[in-house]
Amino acid sequence: MSVPLKDLSKIAVAERTHRTLARIARNRDMHVSELVREILDEFVGRQIHNAKIVLGVDIDNGELADSEGLGGIPADSSGLKGIRTDSHGAPRRGQRK
């Protein structure tokens, strides 16, 4: 069973990139679009993994590593002492504690 695909429409790449992708795909006996899907999937997987590390997500069970989801980073370590923040930790403009 294959994963459903979403169409990204056409994208333009540099000639050198296209030639290189075509050669790699030919050597691996696959179509360029298959190779590009594989490359993008690997890239997205790494980005998700990195985001989980930054956010402190326990990769084994998908839960946050601490109650604030900051992987053990103390809440006051942002350097924003005395500045109120919104629910996402971003400073609120023009407001002080």
Tell me the per-residue pLDDT of 2-36, one tens digit each, with 9 for 90 and over: 778 888 888 899 999 999 999 999 999 999 999 99
Cβ 21 vs Cβ 33: under 8 Å: no
Number of domains, the chain: 1
Concatenated DSSP letters of 70-90: STT--TTTTS-TTEEE-TTSP
Read off the pTM.
0.56
- Is residue 90 in a domain? yes
Q: Could you list the residue range(s) of the whole structural domain that residue 21 is in?
A: 15-96
- Is residue 5 in a domain? no
Closest CA to 19 of 2, 32, 3, 4: 32
- Is residue 45 in a domain? yes
- Is residue 1 in a domain? no
Tell me the per-residue pLDDT of 45-82, one tens digit each, with 9 for 90 and over: 999 988 888 887 766 665 655 544 444 444 444 444 45
Residue with tokens 């590009």: 36
- Is residue 26 in a domain? yes
